Structures are given as structure tokens and as C-alpha cells.
Amino acid sequence: MERKFLSILLVVRMVFTMLPATVFAAECDTVNVGSVGRITAFDELGGNFERSVPFDGYTYALSVEKGTSVEDLNLPDELGVTMERTSTVTTPSEDDVRDSGGIMGEDTATPSESEEVTDTEEETSVSENAVASPSNADEGGTEEKTSTATTHETETISVSWQSNKDFNSDKDGNVIFTAELPEGYVLATGVELPQINVIVGIQGRAAITPPTAAEYAADAGSATDYTIDGTTLTIKTAKGAAFWSASGEAYLAYTVKLDADIDVSGFQWTPVGSIDEDGNLIPFSGTFDGQGHTISGMNFANNVQLAGLFGSVSGAVIENLTVSGSITVTEVASDWVEENPGFAAGIVGMASDTTITNCHSEVQITADIAASFAAAGIAAFAGDNVRIDGCSNGGAITVNGVNMTFAGGIVGDMELLTGSSSIKNCANTGALTADVTGGDGQIGLAYLGGIVGQKSGDENHEDINAVVENCYNSGTLSATSSGIANVGGIAGNNYGDSWERISNCYNVGTVTGAAGLAGFSAGIVGSNSTGSVYSSYWKTGTADTCVQYNGLIYNCGIFDTAGALAATTDENAGTGYPEHGLLYGSNLLTALNGWVEAQAAPGDYQTWIMKSGVNNGYPIFGAEMESVATPTFSPAGGTYSAAQNVTISCATTGADIYYTTNGTTPTTDSIKYTTPISVSATTTIQAIAAKSGMEDSGVATAAYTIQTGGSTHSDGDSYTPPVDNKPETVVTVPAEAPSSSDSKGNATMTVTQDKLNEILKTAQQIAAQQGVKENGIVAELTVNTPAATKSLTVNLPKVVQDTLVKERVVELKINSSAIEISFDKAAIGAIQSTAGMDAQITAKPAAVLSAEAKAAIGSRPVFDLTLTYGGRIMSSFGTGNVYVGIPYTLGKNEQTGNIAVVYVDEGGKVTWLTQSSYDATRKLAIFATDHFSTYGVAYKPGAPTFSDIDSHWAKDDILFVVNRGLFTGTGSGKFGPDLPITRGMFVTALGRLAQADVSSCKQSSFSDVSDDAYYMGYVEWANKNSIVNGIGGGKYAPDAIITREQMAVMIDRYATVIGFQLPAVHTENTFADGVRISSWAKDAVRRVQMSGIINGKTGNFFDPQGDATRAEVSAVLKRFIELAINSDTAQGWVMNDSGKWMYYENGKPIVSAAKTIDGISYSFDQNGEIADVPKNRQYALYTAQKGDSFWLIAHKYGCNMYELAGVNGKTIFSIIYAGEVLKVPEK
């Protein structure tokens, strides 16, 4: 034991004193000593070197004046470090020690007390590990041992400093100095070398390295700095702005509003909307309304790849905002998407499918980078369907790049693939400069324009074009390149065909360009290629010509300092256009306004004025427009003892009024005032007035307090019954409700009176805002249940039942992960009148099934539905209906048309429900019933098959109606989907749907309907119920083909007969052939269209006198059944009556736009149609040809550039080489 202790002590001495191993070999039993040292920490520098907030990874910041020499920086030549050293010591076996004279050896001395370690700053740990020695093992001796010792100690080392570029103290900027270690020193894992960010010409670290947005927003308050109301985020302060900047990805689809002018210079702005490491955009897709306010002092972490207020946007609206600040990019950061260029703009880096209006940038942009780059005041890159209107840039933009540079006052690069984009009513006053060199075998390209650097559409498709209209530039423009430089007063490069237009623009900024290979500079377009320029003008002396390099120009010319246009012939115009510049007048101002007045929609363009001292006296947009008068209220706001009808008026003739009642500031997107507003409860109304060509009015506010003797809710809130002079319109109020769950997946929730009062109050507010009665209420409760929930019990207290009936709630919806259940108004009344006490609604998996039920349901979900009160069961809801949705995902090879819900009675007998369907969008088996029992999801694998429907658009609809016995085939295994349907066949299908008992019908009332015809009984049923009336003369014409408008009338009458009021789930559509609809059918067509039962045909035609086919009727009947179960089926993806897919949101189809749905981008035409819903796209191989680009290949194969690049592991900016094999979509 003593020997072991002394051995360890000597090891400690050896490690701490770091004496040579040979010295210790003579003193003790240790040999083979090794040591490794690593730096684990650096001492603080102190002095003028301030700790930097680590937004950019730099350790320190040092601010110096211009003219400071590198020697005067006093960078330290020594640094204090903490070293970690690990030593390994091998101890020989006892046998080896005996050979040298004993275990310790008689001559071995113990350390004296003076030699003991006493330095308390050093720490030592020793561990022992037995290592088998082969020789010792063979001889039976002891094993040799190894020991490791780790120490931490401080010392001072010499360092030098390396800079990322030459230090130039004559201009503003920054240089990064990084410490360089002497030979033999290494860093421990996770330790980084000190870096000093030397800032020249800007005093104070905070001006360069303020905290991140997240750090600045750490104590932001949701009430004081920002508010969140549903999906609306309102920013009130700088901390609120930092909160949004830092957490923007959580609010990408929100409406964001700016409530005040805000200075954000106190933190580093994080752009909202980004790009992931694979090059996929994560865009902002909501609405941003600056409400006329300014965000000033924007600054960014160095080298952000997508820099701007927004990094990327798609499907967004951005409006009414001014931004200022600076963007600096000096190198390609490690987090950049490989091969992608950088993008910087005051508003947004990359934009598609977005509208940007009334936005202004004063952001200074500087890029000095060895990469391609795009920069602009508003959008660095604009893709398909981007509309920029009424915007301007005053910030200077300087780009020194490699390979390709796009710079524009409004847009840097506008490239289109499938949709058109435009820039209208925009101006640039900022100076734009670019210097580009070639790299990686490229020549270097610079495209720079006062409005847009480059714009390109589709030279083969006129409807894919990029236009610039009614714009001007007064900024100085300059570009140099080692290869090609295209510089234009309006556009640097205009590529496409004649429809690539630039119209009614002018330039007074000096335009210069120089290039190693070819430099094109011109007053309007640097390189016009095959584009067109109309009615555009440039000032004498700014450039030599209108355009360079081909293209069509018409009515273009120069003007002098007084604005007088010269009647000149432009040599680039070609024959047929002899006189230019005087079509709309001989003066610049007159000509600009003359063009505006000559347009088909002059209101789309701002008119021009001249104002002394502004823009050097050249025309500007009519900024000083007359304002619309502020609205007034009658009666005025105040306290009243009865409900009031409030009238809003405006003194400006022709002005429209918009208002809100929910506390938000009104805009022209708010509710448009048309009739007096009924105010029956305490309400605040805010209103504005607007008129084209005038500035919107100020906001008018009136607060009304209504004090009546109305009923009181249980929570004490006063509630006044609604006035009865408004139409009954259903108001749906969604709300969340908590639940409790056990370990077995059983969840329980209670519909509380407080929650119901909250819903009623919200409904009242919505109704007041919409001007309707608040008694048509759908209370929709989403129960927060775990995904593994198997059963659900809902407690429905009597007081809640009473309130539901009293307030005439028309539907109570309860949604959960296990099941969805909805009770209509009659069912709610039946529960209240029957139970007379608290009731419990339970849905739990059925435990026992009959053989027949098992055969139909299999392993699919099946529920026992019960409603109990006081130990008794209520199974029937009288005249009421309950709508149920059972979550179910289709099995392999299952068809949606074969899915149905079955009812299992107490004896185990199965009944297939006609009123059931499968909602593929929500993955729910849905059905309606008037009683509770056992219900399960079933499948008809043995259903009839038809050889002529496999590729038909209505296949699922046909299988649906056939499986429910509404239709049969036409014989020989065929259905005849495109055959017309007769009047006899149609009423038969309706009768079967109604499950009409026609067994008592023995004789026909019509002379042309034989008593033994299969449809005779159904014709009689339809006639007696006024669904059909015959054609006159005692005839019905059963074999006549039914027209589409006749089908609409019969469906409308059938709904009335069964007591089903068709809900208006779609907005009213004006069909292209609406004038052809017969007057007797117009109302019915409108109702069935708005209910979503009949959707029209391709091209927005209804085809009223066209034949109704068997496929169309199948689709109509299926829609009717699903609508009767759940009106939500009419939203989302919907197929029209020609088999074309459409997408409905809030009752409106998406038209003339691109939209990303479930991660896939779809383009909808002007009628709201797409060719198909692409799923599981297959790819073939394609060998790239000389001259190919992603744009050309994508266009050829009808796909998106981003999709094409993504499947090939590239970006849209990657170089494609001839002979390279690429994946392309199969045609």
C-alpha cells in the first residue's frame, strides 16, 4: 500500500514540474511518459477591445477614426491562455523492478517535503488502468500499469494577427483580424481563435454590432410591444418589431400591421422568410400593412444571403411602408446555399406571387463579394405573378461582384416562367453602381437599370410577360464589367418578344457603361433584344440613344432641360415609325399624362405633376392629391336606451366607405358600407372613405353604449336580443376546449357555460360587423385531445342546453382527433326537451360485432354512439339530424367511391347508409343520422366494375352512386358516363336517394308514362311533391334528355321537398354564358351553384341548354349527399362539371394565381382551373444540349425551375454543361 501511494505521489510531482522523463526514471519506477497540450480558453483582452455581441461570431470590436495606421491599432502580441495537458505514465511489473534491485530499490529516495506540490492553481487527476504484459502473464508475474494525469494551467503565448483583407483606413468599413498561434499549440474542441472586428470611421460598437433581434426582444411584452389577435400580429414598438423579426417563421401566414413609426437601429434585423440549406424557400405568405408608417435604422448581420425586411415572400401582400437603414455584404458566409447568389433589397430579397404597393426604400446597399449578386430598393429578385405598384427607391446601391450582377432601383432581376409580372407607377432617385469581373470560366455580366436590372418573359407565350409602365429614374447609373455591361435608364436588359413592354417612362439620370467585351448603355434600355419600348423619353446628354441592340421602339424621343420633346427619327425604330416622341404632345409632362389618359383603364396609372424645387423640376407623380372627406355618423356615438340603426355618410361625391366594429383600423379591405348598421349592444365603429385618384380619408370613430332591460347570462354579462330587421345569416364561431385523458386513450370534456357565452359574444360582434342577425350561430368546439385518443365523452350541462335553444344556435360541432360530431338545431332541441338534465355524449370503439358487421367493417374503425341522461339512453333525435365524421385513411387499393358507413342494429344486422361518403381531403368517413347506435366504416370490394370509367374524371362519383343503388350500368359491363340522361332516369335517381316508397303507385298520371315503366312510380312521387310538373298536355316526356338547367331546377325543388335549405357555401358566380340561362331557371341555378352542387364547366360556362350526362349527374348527386352531411366538403379541392380541378377558400375559387397547397405549387388560370392535381410525378432522363438553361428545360417539360433544379441536386443558378444528364418530368 505504501509502495502504491509513493508511486502516485511521484507521478504527481513529474506531471506538475514537467521535468524530463529520464530524470524520473533514475528516481522511481516510471517510464514511457508522454504529454499533450491544448488551449481551453483565452484571457480577456481588455483595454479598447470591447466584447462584441456574438451575432456575427467576432469576439471583439474596435472602433477607430479614419487615418489610423495598423500599428496604432495596438493589437496585442501576447495572449494569456489556459492550457490542458494530459500525461501518460507506464509503471513496470514487480518482476521487472526486482531485476533492478527490489520493488522500490534500496537506492530509491522518497520526496522531501520541500519537493511536494503546493501550487493550488494547478489541478491533477490520476487514473490507473491495468495493461496485460504478455511476458509477465506467461511467467505468472504481476501486470504492468499505465497512469494518465490531466492538468490545467495558465501561461502567456506569443501571437500574430492575420486580416481578411488589406487594412485601408482611408474609407469607412471594417477589417477582421484573427489571432494566429505559434507552432505546437492546438485548440481544444469548441474553442475558437479570438477575432477583432476593426471598424473604421464609425464610432461605438453599438452602431456596428448591436444585439440580435432575439436578444433585443427578450423582455418584449405581448400587450405593450405587440399584440396577437387570431392571425393578426400588430407591432407597436421596436421590441415588438424585434419579436416579429426573431420569430418570423412562426407568423409566415399572418396579417402583420405596423402601428407606429419605429426605429430598429438598436438590433440586428433578421429577415422574415428565409431559405433552407437545400435551397428551398420558407417564404412569408401573409399580409404586411405598414399603415403609412416607417421602419428606420434597419441593419443586418454581415453577409446575410437573403437580406431585406423580408428574406423571401410568396403569395404575400406588402403595402404602405417606408424602410431605411443599410445592408453590407462582404463575403459568402458559411451558411449560404451553395451556388446561389446573394440577394439584398430594402423590402424583400426574393418574391413570387406577391403584390407590393406603396412601399418606399431608403436603404443603402453595399456588396463587395466574390459571387453573383442581385440588389434593388424593393425586390432583389421577382419571379412569376409579382405586381409592384406605387413604390420608390432613394437608397444608393453599390455592387462589386463576380460573374453576374443585377441591380435596379425597384427590381434587380425579374425572370418569369409561368406568369406575368409588372412594375407600375414607380420611381428611383438613388445612385446605382456595379463593377463585375468574371470567374470560374465566366466572362462577367452586369445588368443595371434605373427601375429594373433585367426583366425577361417568355418569347413564345404572350401571356407570360414582364412589363414596366409609368415609371421614371433620376438616379445616376454606372456599370463596368470584364465581360458585358448592359446599362439603361429604365432597364439594363429587356429580353423576350414584343410583349415585353416598357411604356410611358422617362429618365434624367446619367447612364454610363464600360466592358471588356461589349458595353451597351442607353437612355431607356441597355440591351433591348426582342423587347418593345413605347412612349418613353430620355434627357439630352444622359445617353446617346433610346435603346441598344435590336428590339422595337415606338413614339420615343429625347427632351431638353425645359421638357421640350424633339421630333426625331430613331435609327433603331425600323421602317414604318418615322416620327417619334410627339404622339401625345411636344412637352414631357403633357406626353406622360396623354399616354395615361389614352389607356383603357387610366385609373390604374398615377397622373403626373410638376412641383418647383422637387426632382429638379421634372415630372413627378401627383403626390399632393386631394383627400377624401372624413365620414360622419348618424346618430352620433353616445349612450342609448334602445338599439340604433347607424348611417355613415361622406361629403365627397362618389367615395366608398369602409368600416370595422372589432377594434381594428379600417382599410379598403374592410367591410364596405352599403346599408345602415344595426347596433344592439355596446359597439365602437371605425370608418374611412376612399375614392380613386384621391387620398383616403382619416379614420372616423363613434362609440355606442346600449342600455336596455335585456336578458342576463349566467356569467352576469348583459345581452340584448337582436333586432329582427336583418336577414338570418349563419355565423360560425370556432373555439378551443380543453379535455382530460387517461392512459387508456379515453378523453372527457365539458361544454361550459363560460365557453358558450364567449362564443355567443363573438357571434354577436361578427354579426354586428356583417349587419346580420346573430341568432344564426354555429358553435364549433375543437377539443384538445391527444392523437392516441380512442374514445370521447362530452358533458352537456342542462344550462348549456337551455342556452343553445334560447339563443337559437343552429348547429353544435364537436371536433376531436377520435371523432367529429355535429348536432343541428332540431337535434339540440330534442336533447333539451327529452333529457331535462345534464347529458353525456359518448363515442367509444365497439367491442362486439356480429359476423355480418365484421365482414363489412373488417379492421376499420367502428363506434358505439350513445347519449345518456340520469342513467337513461336517448337514441332518437326526432326530426333532428346528427352529422358524424370518423377519421379513416384509405387502405391499399381502396377506392373512395366504395367507402360507406354502415349502421349496425341491436341484432347485428348491417344497413349501408346512402347518406354517407368519404371526405378524401380531411380523411373522414362522414354520414348523417337521426339516431345513435353502432356505426362503422365499411367497404364494398364486390361492387360493380365498369370497363369505361377507369380513366374518367367522374370515376369516384360513379362508384359512389352505384354503390348506393342510385344508378346501375347500361349493360355489357359499361356505365356510359358521357351518355345523356333522360328525365325518367333522373327522377328515378332522386327517388332512390330519398328512399321513396313507390310500391303503392300502380297507375301513371301522364299519358306518355306506361304503368310498367321502371321509372313510373318515381315520376308519380316527383309529380306529387312538385319536383316535376310535366311538359303540358298531360305528358311528362320521360325519354327526353334532361338539360343542365332543368337538372338544377329539379335539384332545387328536391331540396325543398326534403326540408333541406341549400347553404350558400360558394360566392355567387357570373357564368360566361349566364345570359343563356332561362328566366324560369335563374334562381334555381344561382342557389345550386352557391351551394356547390353544380360547379359549371371549363371556361366558366354553365351550358344551361346542354345535355346532362350520367357522369355529371353522378357528381351532382354525390355533392348533394356530402353537402347534406357537412358543408365543409364544398371547400378546398373541388372538381367542376368538366373534370377540371379548382380550389376554394372561404367560398371563393383561386383564380389567375399560383398557390402552394400541401407543399406543392399550383397555377390556376383565369377561370380557377388547373390541368390536374399532380401526384407522384415520374421523371425521365434528358441530356442537356448546348445553350440549355433551367428556364428553357423547365419550359419545355412544363414544370417549375425550382422543381427541376431540386430533383437534380442543383439550384436555379447552377451551371448546366452540354452532355450532362438531368432528370425531367415525364410528359
Cβ(128)–Cβ(147) under 8 Å?
yes
**In this model, does residue 258 exceed pLDDT 90?**
yes
Residue 302 confidence (pLDDT): 63
Q: Is the pLDDT of residue 50 over 80?
A: no
Assigned C-alpha cell, 990? 332522386
Q: Do strands 477-481 and 432-437 pair parallel, antiparallel, or not at all (unpaired)?
A: parallel
**Could you tell me which CATH class the domain 271-603 is placed in?**
mainly beta
pLDDT tens digit string along 710-750? 333 222 222 233 333 333 356 777 778 888 888 888 889 99
pLDDT at residue 278, as a whole number: 80
Q: What's the pLDDT score for residue 137?
A: 33
Q: Given pLDDT bands bounded at 50, 70 and 90, which one contains residue 51?
A: low
- Is residue 109 very low, low, confident or very high in pLDDT (cuts 50, 70, 90)? very low
Those residues whose C-beta lies under 8 Å from the C-beta of residue 652, and which sit 6 or more positions away, are: 628, 629, 689, 691, 694, 697
As assigned by CATH, the class of the 1179-1225 domain is alpha beta
- The predicted pLDDT at position 139 comes to 33
Region 317-329: what's the mean pLDDT?
92
The most confident of 780-784, 1018-1022, 1170-1174, by mean pLDDT: 1018-1022
Q: Is the pLDDT of residue 579 over 90?
A: no
pLDDT score recorded for residue 497: 66
| Confidence band of 419 (pLDDT split at 50, 70, 90) | confident
What pLDDT score was predicted for residue 1152?
Answer: 80
pLDDT, one tens digit per residue, over 650-665 is 988 778 898 888 777 8
For the chain, the structural domain boundaries read 2-207, 271-603, 632-706, 731-939, 955-981+1041-1164, 1179-1225
Write down the pLDDT at residue 379: 97
Mean pLDDT of 19-35: 34
pTM exceeds cut of 0.85: no
How sure is the predictor about 414, in pLDDT bands with cuts at 50, 70 and 90? very high
Q: How far apart are CA 1053 and CA 1212, in angstroms?
A: 56
Q: What is the pLDDT of residue 479?
A: 93
Q: CA 202 to CA 520: how far, in whole Å? A: 38
Q: At which residue does the C-alpha cell 366538403 appear? A: 1129
Task: Read off the pLDDT of each residue in 194-214 and give the average, rounded to a whole number.
Answer: 67
Of 1013 and 153, the structure prediction assigns the larger pLDDT to 1013
In this prediction, residue 149 carries a pLDDT of 59
596-652 pLDDT, tens digit per residue, is 999 999 889 999 988 766 788 889 987 544 678 899 999 888 888 777 888 899 988
pLDDT value of position 1206: 61
Expressed in angstroms, the distance from the first to the final Cα of the chain is: 85
Query: What is the predicted pLDDT for the residue at 1203?
Result: 60
- The predicted structure's pLDDT at residue 127: 34
Asked if pLDDT for residue 818 goes beyond 80, the answer is yes
Any idea what the Cα angle at residue 214 is, between residues 213 and 218, rounded to 5°? Answer: 120
Maximum average pLDDT range among 394-398, 675-679, 704-708, 1164-1168: 394-398
327: left (phi over 0), alpha (psi -120 to 50) or beta: beta
C-beta atoms surrounding 38 within 10 Å: 16
Of 4-18, 524-538, 1171-1185, the one with minimum mean pLDDT is 4-18
Query: For 1157-1195, b where at least 16 C-beta lie within 10 A, e where not — what string?
Result: eeeebbbbbebbbbeeeeeeeebeebebeeebebbebbb
Provide the percentage of residues in the chain whose pLDDT is more than 90.
Answer: 25
Summarize the confidence of residues 1206-1214 as an average pLDDT.
Answer: 63
Given the DSSP bridges, would you call strands 683-690 and 656-660 parallel, antiparallel or unpaired?
A: antiparallel
The three three-digit cell numbers of residue 633, written as one number: 355618423
Give the tens place of pLDDT for each residue, 343-356: 999 999 999 999 99
Q: How many CA atoms lie within 13 A of 1047 on its CB side?
A: 34
The confidence band for 289, taking pLDDT boundaries of 50, 70 and 90, is very high
The secondary structure element, H or E, covering residue 625 is none
For 32, the enclosing helix (H) or strand (E) is strand 31-42
Model confidence at 225, pLDDT cuts 50, 70, 90, reads very high
Question: How do beta strands 404-408 and 373-376 pair?
Answer: parallel
Assign 734 to helix, strand or coil.
Answer: strand
81 pLDDT band (50/70/90 cuts)?
confident
The yes-or-no verdict on residue 30 having pLDDT over 50 is no
Query: pLDDT band at residue 1174, thresholds of 50, 70 and 90?
Result: very low
- Pull the grid cell for residue 957: 362519383
**Per-residue confidence (pLDDT) for residue 696, from 0 to 100:** 77
- Strands (E) located in 201-283: 226-229, 232-235, 255-258, 262-263, 274-275, 281-282
Percent of the chain with pLDDT over 70: 80
Mean pLDDT of 569-587: 57
> Would you say residue 959 has pLDDT above 90?
no
Which residues partner with 255 through β-bridges?
A: 232, 287
Structure confidence by residue, pLDDT tens digits, 132-167? 333 333 333 334 444 455 677 788 888 888 887 788
pLDDT of residue 480: 93
Residue 1161 has pLDDT above 60, yes or no: yes
Q: Would the CATH topology of 271-603 be identical to that of 1179-1225?
A: no
Mean pLDDT score across all residues of the chain: 79
Average pLDDT over every residue of 282-305: 88
Torsion of CA 445, 342, 310, 312, to 10 degrees: 80
